[in-house]
Amino acid sequence: MKKLLIPFLMCALVLTGCSTGKGVFKLTLSPTPLVMKVDPAIVIHLEVAKSTGAFAQQATKDGAIAQSVVYYIPEKGTKVIFMSVYEFPAAKFDHLKNPNQPPPYGTEVLRKNGKVFSVAGPQDSIFDPKSSDGKRVTELYSTIYNKSTYSTP
C-alpha cells in the first residue's frame, strides 16, 4: 500500500505546486519557453514532448528555435497528437507567411522580444463530441488560439 501511496502523494504535490489559486494549471510547453493555462481536469490528459520527425526537421530548417508537441491521452485507447507549438524569430516567421496558403506552422498566439510563438491544433473533432474525451478536447480547443492562454517565464 505504501508503494502506491507515495507516488500518488508526490504527483498530487507536484500538481498542487504548479496550479494557481484560480483553478488553472500552468503547463510548461518545453522545449519551447511557453506556459499554457489549462483546466486541472484536462491537464491530467496531456503530455508534452519535443517534436521529432521529418516535419520537425523541416521546421528547424525554416528557422524554428524550439518545437513541442502536446498529446491528448484519452480515457481508453492510445494518445493522439493534439497540437504542435513553435518558437520562431519574428522575421523568419513573418517571411514564411503566404496569404494564399494556410500557415505552415500554425497560428501566432504570442509575439514577444523578437520571437513568435505559434500553435497548430486539430482541424476536426478528434473524438465524439458527446463523449467525455470529446467534451474535454472541445473545451481545450476553445482556448488554444487565445493569446491570454499563454505566457513566457
Domain assignment present for residue 119? The answer is: yes
Domain assignment present for residue 132? The answer is: yes
3-state secondary structure the chain: CHHHHHHHHHHHHHHHHHECCCCCEEEECCCCCCEEEECHHHHCCEEEEECCCHHHHHHHHCCCCEEEEEEECCCCCCCEEEEEEEEEEHHHHHHHCCCCCCCCCCEEEEEECCEEEEEECCCCCCCCCCCHHHHHHHHHHCCCCCHHHEECC
Domain assignment present for residue 16? The answer is: no
In terms of residue numbers, what domain contains 104? 22-151
Q: Note the pLDDT of residue 124.
A: 81
- Residue 128 and residue 63 in contact, taking contact as beta carbons nearer than 8 Å: no
Domain assignment present for residue 2? The answer is: no
Q: Note the pLDDT of residue 22.
A: 53
Q: Note the pLDDT of residue 99.
A: 86
Domain assignment present for residue 1? The answer is: no
The per-residue pLDDT for range 111-129, each reduced to its tens digit, is 999 999 999 998 888 899 9
The per-residue pLDDT for range 140-149, each reduced to its tens digit, is 999 999 999 9
Could you identify the residue written with the cell 481508453?
76
Question: Does residue 12 have a pLDDT over 80?
Answer: no
- 103: pLDDT confidence band, cut at 50, 70 and 90? confident
C-alpha cell read off for 99: 496569404
Q: Note the pLDDT of residue 114.
A: 97
- 16: pLDDT confidence band, cut at 50, 70 and 90? very low
Question: Does residue 77 have a pLDDT over 50?
Answer: yes
Quote the number of domains for the chain.
1
Domain assignment present for residue 44? The answer is: yes
Domain assignment present for residue 131? The answer is: yes
Q: What is the pTM of this model?
A: 0.83
Domain assignment present for residue 6? The answer is: no
Report phi then psi at 151, rounded to 5.
-155, 165
> What would the mean pLDDT of 71-85 be, rounded to a whole number?
96
